[in-house]
């Protein structure tokens, strides 16, 4: 079974203007055929799909005007583009999912469900937000869990309020919380993949806390931990029978050149075997991810290989992709 994972899908950034001009398929026009070939494709939907007009009060207007905070929103029709591009599931456990309050989050979940895309990491209350999404492919069940370690005011789900899945609860460390959820998910599925919004923006290296938590999740039974939020690539680590991709960077976004290198991670899952892990280099141009070629591909892969070596994991780099060391 092949699971393809990508980074941040920020459809409400400047790429929104391109979507308005060219349609919901615009962001994926140069890469959709590749995404659709996987058994499952997953990404981080960073921002609500809604026409709601009132933004969250959890981000101060003066901070937004100063560029210290950002508020995103994209039309619900963008869910059509995600579906046609091959996305089967997205995580909405991030610091932008509640940018337009509970109504925007609810609009997002409804838009995705209407197009047959599963969502994980948010819900009508804390129990729903922490619940796994279990998808069935090739006779196997894959459970996805999602958490955000970046939590704006009023964004976290509670027993009484809709919101995102927070990484912590009072008195319960992140790794212990996740271990409980992973154990429950493993009783329902053959494989468990955890999606985490964490780390430091624009940093190419995971923090010690990311490494500790990521390793704890694999030790608890996750076959893969896939991170988002730094907006740049971070290294990939093989830990026992699992893979930790600390950050896959941006995937759909319009921002500075330093954040326009990306990658598609392909996990090959088979019962009783550690996951295979292949990487395809990607560049983003005018909001569109596309396979990197030539010098750009070599540069991205060698950079990612160097980051991974610093984590103690080797990577074999070829002309159009790379493979993380270790048997599939």
- State how far the Cα of 235 lies from the Cα of 233, in Å rounded to an integer: 7
Beta bridge partners of 193: 144, 224
Q: Higher confidence at residue 301 or residue 13?
A: 301
pLDDT of residue 100: 97
At 88, the pLDDT band (50, 70, 90 cuts) reads: very high
Give me the chain's average pLDDT, please. Answer: 96
The tens digit of pLDDT for each residue in 188-199 reads: 999 999 999 999
Give the right CATH number for 2-324 from 3.40.50, 3.30.70, 1.20.120, 3.60.21. 3.60.21
| 90 within 8 A of 45, measured Cβ to Cβ | yes
* Verdict on whether the full-model pTM lies above 0.85: yes
- Exposed (0-12), middle (13-18) or buried (19+): which is 241, by Cβ within 10 Å? middle
| 6 within 8 A of 42, measured Cβ to Cβ | yes
- The DSSP output letter for 271 is T
- State how far the Cα of 55 lies from the Cα of 302, in Å rounded to an integer: 41
Write the DSSP assignment of 98-140 as a string of letters: TTTHHHHHHHHHHHHHHTT-EEESEESSHHHHHPPEEEEETTE
Q: Where are the domains of the chain?
A: 2-324
pLDDT of residue 193: 98
pLDDT of residue 49: 98
- Is the pLDDT score of 184 beyond 60? yes
297 φ, ψ to 5°? -65, -45
> Averaged over 231-259, what is the pLDDT?
94
The tens digit of pLDDT for each residue in 89-121 reads: 999 999 999 999 999 999 999 999 999 999 999
> Averaged over 306-327, what is the pLDDT?
93
pLDDT of residue 222: 98
| 132 within 8 A of 144, measured Cβ to Cβ | yes
Q: Higher confidence at residue 173 or residue 13?
A: 173
- Is the pLDDT score of 327 beyond 90? no
> Averaged over 38-54, what is the pLDDT?
97
């Amino acid at each position: 079974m092949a699971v393809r994972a990508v980074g941040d899908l920020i459809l409400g950034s400047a790429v929104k203007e391109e979507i308005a001009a060219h349609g919901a398929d615009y962001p994926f026009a140069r890469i959709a055929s590749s995404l659709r070939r996987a058994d499952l494709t997953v990404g981080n939907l960073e921002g609500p799909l809604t026409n709601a007009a009132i933004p969250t009060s959890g981000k101060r207007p003066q901070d937004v005007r100063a560029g210290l905070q950002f508020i995103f929103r994209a039309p619900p029709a963008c869910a059509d583009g995600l579906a046609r591009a091959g996305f089967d599931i997205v995580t909405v456990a991030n610091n932008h999912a509640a940018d337009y309050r509970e109504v925007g989050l609810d609009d997002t979940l409804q838009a995705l469900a209407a197009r047959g895309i599963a969502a994980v990491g948010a819900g009508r209350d804390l129990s729903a937000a922490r619940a796994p999404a279990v998808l069935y492919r090739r006779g196997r069940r894959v459970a996805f869990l999602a958490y955000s370690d970046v939590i704006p005011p009023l964004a976290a789900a509670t027993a009484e309020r809709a919101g995102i899945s927070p990484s912590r609860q009072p008195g319960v460390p992140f790794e212990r919380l996740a271990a409980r959820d992973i154990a429950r998910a493993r009783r329902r599925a053959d494989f468990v993949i955890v999606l985490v919004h964490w780390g430091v923006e624009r940093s190419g290296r995971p923090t010690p806390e990311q490494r500790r938590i990521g390793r704890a999740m694999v030790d608890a039974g996750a076959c893969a931990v896939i991170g988002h939020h730094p907006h740049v690539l971070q290294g990939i680590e093989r830990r026992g029978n699992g893979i930790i991709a600390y950050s896959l960077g941006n995937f759909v976004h319009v921002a500075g050149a330093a954040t326009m290198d990306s990658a598609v991670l392909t996990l090959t899952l088979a019962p009783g075997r550690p996951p295979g892990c292949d990487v395809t280099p990607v560049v983003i141009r005018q909001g569109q991810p596309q396979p990197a070629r030539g010098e750009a591909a070599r540069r991205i892969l060698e950079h990612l290989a160097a980051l991974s070596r610093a984590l103690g994991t080797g990577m074999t780099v070829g002309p159009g992709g790379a493979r993380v060391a270790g048997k599939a």
